[in-house]
Structure formats: C-alpha cells, structure tokens
C-alpha cells in the first residue's frame, strides 16, 4: 500500500475511479473497520481504488478538545495497511483547515480526486467548521459521487466507539476493549537498562519506554510481546504503573515485562511490541520483598491458567 502524506495539503490525483473511506479513525476499531470494508466493497463493485482519507494531528488536539489517542500515528498506519486498502491519504489538520466550511471541504475532495466515485462514512461522522457537515448533508449535495453510510456497530448492545474503548482500558477491562478493537490493544516501545530489581528477585524483566498515550489502568496483565523482525509472539506477565514497592521520589510510570519462557540477554535499545490480553490485578505496595515474590508467583500461575483458556 502506498501512503500519500499531505503535509502541505497537496493531495494526489489518482487516475482511476476512487472510493474514499472518510474519518478520523482513532483506534481502527471494528466500527471503523466496517466503514473501510464498506468502501472496499463499493470500490470492488465499481472497479475503483479504495482510499482511506484521515487526518493528522487528530482533530480533537487542534480544536482544544484533547483526548488520549488509542493508537500512535505509526500504529494507525499499520492497522490500515492490514485492511488491504489501495492508498492511505493523511490530511494535515490545523486551525486553518478546521475553519473550512463543510461544502468547501467536499469541493476540495472533488478537486483533489476528479474521479471520485463514492464516499463511505460512519453514521456519526462530522466535518467542516463547527462540525456542520454530517452524512445527511453529504447525501443532500447535488454531486456525482455516491454516499454510503455505515450504521453504528454494536457490541453487547452498546455502540462501539473510541470513547467506550478508552473507558474500558482505563477501567481494566482490556479483554472487552480488545473485542471492540478487533485486535489486542498494544504498546510500542524501546527496551532500556533498568535497576535490575526483577532479576534480583528471580524474575528478570524488560523495562520498556513506550510511545503511546497513557490509557491503561495501572496493574498486572497477561501479555504477549515480540521484538522487531520476529513473527512469533511470546507470553509474559507485565506490570504497568509506578512500582509502589520500589519507587523513590516522584513516581514514574513504567512498563515491565517478565517473559514466561525466555531468559532476557542484554536487549537494551531493542524495539518491542506488547499486546495486553487480560487484567490480573491492581498494582499495590508490598511491605517486604518476600511478600512481593509470593505475589509474583501467584500472578504467573493466574496468567498461565488464563493462557490455557484463550485459544
């Protein structure tokens, strides 16, 4: 898939007919995937190319409604690639762009994509200054392209949305969040040299600087992880939080992963992906290392039991 970046609002004109999947798409959850699949199916019917047209930075960050994003920019691009679209167009979103009227935004799309055949959007998609445009507005325009609207996708009678997924992650319901995402929630990061506390306790860990926003509830998780260039995931137990038993001074949020089947050599500087599969318990402070070690043993036992029931 070609990724067409638009840092100077310079979109490419693609010769063949195109169908756009239009949206901010934070999370690429199963609702977003349904919209993109709707565009792909329409493109296949028309013999057209499928383009995911999205925005960066996320509009909420520009419109003074900041929110923590589920995916980093690179993760978003990866998840879109996995959906097998033909192109990904990333529109630079700034204050000037946010003031474009809804009608003018549609004219911009038609100018940049002269062979625009159809647009697919989610039911709650809004665009244009003050969010004045919506799917109904698109359908009322007298233009040559078709408008396809993806209804809300429901999970257990609740709308699938980025807001609901963020809430699940912050409440520790990572398994529920994963079902709404359609893939395991994951962090990307780089291994750094820690203080060796886990190794001294008999449970060495990877210490990871992660790139993502803070969404997860502090605690212990069953995870899978892999390093760059590896196809196979390994199972582990992760602690995400401030390590209350050991921190001194101002607490720092850390991610530590203990592999269940691997001894860690010096992996400082390695890039790693960590998937979160199940929340085991809250993070807590222990009055002795012996009590902490006993708890770690129990956490590993719980993790292995849950592994056996996942697949």
Residues 126 and 210 grouped into a single domain: no
Residues 152 and 104 in one domain: yes
The pLDDT value given to residue 249: 62
CA pair distance 298, 303, nearest whole angstrom: 9
In a domain, 280, yes or no: yes
Return the pLDDT at 279. Answer: 98
Q: What is d(CA 110, CA 189) in angstroms, rounded to the nearest whole number?
A: 39
188 and 155, same structural domain?
no
Give yes or no for a cis peptide into 199 (omega within 30° of 0): no
Of the candidates 94, 163, 87, 80, the residue with the CA atom closest to the CA atom of residue 124 = 163
* pLDDT value of residue 11: 46
> 0.85 exceeded by the pTM?
yes
pLDDT, residue 248, reads 65
- The pLDDT score that the predictor gives to residue 267 is 83
Same domain, 205 and 262: yes
Predicted confidence at residue 229, as pLDDT, reads 81
Q: What pLDDT is recorded for position 2?
A: 40
Total domains present in the chain? 2
Residues 23 and 110 in one domain: yes
Residues 237 and 112 grouped into a single domain: no
According to the model, what pLDDT value does residue 247 have? 65
Alpha carbons 255 and 243: distance in angstroms, whole number: 9
Q: Is the peptide bond before 57 cis (omega within 30 degrees of 0)?
A: yes
In a domain, 243, yes or no: yes
175 in a structural domain = no
pLDDT of residue 263: 62
151 and 191 fall within a common domain: no
Ranges of residues in the chain with a pLDDT under 70 are 1-14, 196, 247-250, 262-266, 311
Residue-level pLDDT at 262:
67
> 102: domain range?
2-159
123 with 212, same domain? no
Each residue's pLDDT tens digit, 192-232? 987 767 777 878 889 999 999 999 999 999 999 999 988 88
User: CATH code at 249?
Assistant: 2.40.30.30
Task: Specify the pLDDT at position 14.
Answer: 65
Whether 44 is in a domain gets the answer: yes
Is 220 in the same domain as 255?
yes
Assign residue 56 the CATH number of its domain.
Answer: 3.40.50.620
The predicted-structure confidence for 174-188, as pLDDT tens digits, reads as follows: 999 999 999 999 999
């Amino acid at each position: 898939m070609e990724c067409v970046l638009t840092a100077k609002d310079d979109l490419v004109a693609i010769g063949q007919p195109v169908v756009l999947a239009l949206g901010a798409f934070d999370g690429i959850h199963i609702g977003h995937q349904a919209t993109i699949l709707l565009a792909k199916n329409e493109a296949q019917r028309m013999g057209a190319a499928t383009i995911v047209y999205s925005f960066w930075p996320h509009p909420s960050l520009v419109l003074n409604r900041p929110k923590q994003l589920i995916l980093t920019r690179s993760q978003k691009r990866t998840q879109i690639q996995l959906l097998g679209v033909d192109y990904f167009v990333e529109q630079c979103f700034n204050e000037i762009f946010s003031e474009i009227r809804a009608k003018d935004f549609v004219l911009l799309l038609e100018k940049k994509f002269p062979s625009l055949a159809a647009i697919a959007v989610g039911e709650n998609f809004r665009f244009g200054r003050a969010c004045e445009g919506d799917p109904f507005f698109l359908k009322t325009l007298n233009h040559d392209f078709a408008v396809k609207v993806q209804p809300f996708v429901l999970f257990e009678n609740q709308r699938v949305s980025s807001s609901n997924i963020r809430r699940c992650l912050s409440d520790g319901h990572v398994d529920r969040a994963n079902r709404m995402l359609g893939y395991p929630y994951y962090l990307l990061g780089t291994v750094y040299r820690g203080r060796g506390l886990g190794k001294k306790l008999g449970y060495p860990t990877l210490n990871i600087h992660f790139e993502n926003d803070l969404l997860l509830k502090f605690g212990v998780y069953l995870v899978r992880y892999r390093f760059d260039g590896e196809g196979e995931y390994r199972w582990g137990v992760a602690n995400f939080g401030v390590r209350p038993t050991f921190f001194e001074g101002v607490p720092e949020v850390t991610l530590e992963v203990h592999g269940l089947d691997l001894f860690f050599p010096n992996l400082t500087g390695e890039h790693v992906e960590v998937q979160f599969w199940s929340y085991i318990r809250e993070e807590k402070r222990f009055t002795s290392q012996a009590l902490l070690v006993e708890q770690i043993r129990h956490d590993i036992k719980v993790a292995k039991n849950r592994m056996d029931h996942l697949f």
